[in-house]
Amino acid sequence: MSHALAQGFELMGFELMGFGMGGVFAVLFLIYLVCIALNKLFPGKTDKK
């Protein structure tokens, strides 16, 4: 594999890392907000003493 091609592949690897980690964090953060909203809108029953 030529040096330039190898460098291109590694750049793509870093691009994939940024896309992947950024994407996973973004989606799970969105789900985090959804969880909070759901818990606020439909709170679970609390034990009455």
Partner 1 sequence: MASIIETAASITFQQVIMMIIGGILMYLGIKKNYEPTLLVPMGLVAILVNFPMTGVLTQTINGQKTEGVLDILFNAGITTELFPLLIFIGIGAMIDFGPLLSNPFMLLFGAAAQFGIFFVVIVALFFGFNIQEAASIGVIGAADGPTSIFVSSQLAPNLLGPIAIAAYSYMALVPIIQPAAIKLVTTKKERRIRMTYKAESVSKKTRILFPIIITLIAGIVAPVSLPLVGFLMFGNLLRECGVLDRLSNTAQNELVNIVSILLGLTISVKLTATEFLNVQTLMIIAFGLVAFIMDSIGGVLFAKLLNLFRKEKVNPMIGAAGISAFPMSSRVIQQMAQAEDKQNFVLMYAVGANVSGQIGSVIAGGLLLGFFS
Q: How far is the CB of 10 from partner 1 (least distance, A)?
A: 6
- Dist CA 33 CA 40 (whole Å): 11
- Please give the C-alpha separations between residue 20 and each of 2, 9, 40, in angstroms, as whole numbers: 27, 16, 30
Token digits of residue 29: 């953060």
Q: How far is the CB of 14 from partner 1 (least distance, A)?
A: 7
Residues contributing to the site for partner 1 (CB under 8 A): 1, 9-10, 12-14, 16-17, 19-21, 23-32, 34-36, 38-39, 41-46
Q: How far is the CB of 28 from partner 1 (least distance, A)?
A: 4
